[in-house]
Structure 1
């Protein structure tokens, strides 16, 4: 498959902007103060967006030859190698024990909250903490905490309503991106 350089730019995901090393050194005391104030590791990024990605990406796409879509022996062996090795049935007790073992290995959940103004807040939580702890933290750090807001995940857009659910059972472990939006009436 041949891809020209201009289309590679649009195939990449959005990246976080880099910080000047001198700025990073001056930000360390501020991050330490925030960690002491809020009781957890907090980082803030500014994300850069590509504004015209769909226009240029759609114009530079090329059709693949028919041979590209044929199923080969290499594809078959690759599928076999990724197939699960467990071919026996397990009792509920064994499944629960394996789940508890998987759960105990994970020690932190890194949650990134993306705001509408292209800023990202990265916070470290314990997997057993609830989503309510994230909302409580956001109430402390948001500029206008009196305005109603909600959190959602994509794709598809799904609003987070159960605040008593822990990060592990919500599927936010080892990390997740959650989107922030104000819940203002239209008009």
Structure 2
């Protein structure tokens, strides 16, 4: 019965906000992750540290990007505008600590605030403070006034959800949805 109520709530929120929303579980990793991380629902912070391999991969990407230096600014801006015009939607997947994944489709020009607003409507405990972050490295999303395109979330992105409570607090929520 709870599943039907959750689906009805999700459909109501999708109609109210005008976004296509889907919920699914990451069942392939759920059994393994429960065995591995029985004590905590998140990876430790050092897991998201930047490794030398990550650094060299990022730097090689930047070197390729700098090869466009020989173009005029007007040419680069025109190419960037053409790339931006080709992207018509931003598919954002929010991973919760309990292996549920919420997928929502937004316009690339919408702000991250609209994602936060959506999450406040669908999360089971909207009264608890939460935050979103990306990996690697683990970086908290602080500026919600950016649009999805300028934040690098278009045409798609995976962000992670976490409650913003101290670890010792009683009643630490296990379920995001």
TM-score (norm 1): 0.63
Contact 2:13 2:122 in 1 (8 A): no
Aligned CA distance change for structure 1 residues 117 and 88 (closer, same or farther; 3 Å): closer
Task: Please tell me whether residue 47 in structure 1 is matched to residue 40 in structure 2.
Answer: no
Q: Offset of 1:185 from its aligned partner?
A: 1.7
Partners in 2 of 1:146 and 1:34 — Cα distance? 17
Partners in 1 of 2:83 and 2:68 — Cα distance? 19
Contact 2:132 2:160 in 1 (8 A): yes
**Matching residue of 1:160:** 141
Q: Offset of 1:91 from its aligned partner?
A: 1.0
Q: Offset of 1:186 from its aligned partner?
A: 2.8
Contact 2:13 2:121 in 1 (8 A): no
Higher alpha-carbon Rg: 1
Q: Deviations over 1:34-65 (max 9, x none)?
A: 5323311000001121627xx9xxxxxxxxxx
Matched residue SS, 1:44: strand
**Matching residue of 1:91:** 72
Partners in 2 of 1:32 and 1:148 — Cα distance? 24
**Matching residue of 2:89:** 108
**Of 94, 97, 102, the match for 1:121:** 102
* Alignment gaps of 5+ in structure 1: 1-26, 56-82
Query: Which structure carries more relative contact order (alpha carbon 8 Å, separation 6+)?
Result: 2
* Alignment gaps of 5+ in structure 2: 1-6, 37-63, 169-177
Q: Deviations over 1:77-110 (max 9, x none)?
A: xxxxxx89x7771111111111001100100000
TM-score (norm 2): 0.66
Aligned CA distance change for structure 1 residues 43 and 130 (closer, same or farther; 3 Å): same
Partners in 2 of 1:163 and 1:156 — Cα distance? 19
**Of 160, 164, 174, the match for 1:183:** 164
Aligned length, in residue pairs = 130
After the TM superposition, which segments of 4 or more aligned residues of structure 1 sit over 4 Å from their partners? Answer: 29-34
Q: How does 1:21-100 map to 2 (within 5 A)?
A: 33-48=12-27, 49=29, 51=32, 89-100=70-81
Root-mean-square deviation (CA, aligned residues, Å) is 2.5
Matched residue SS, 1:170: coil
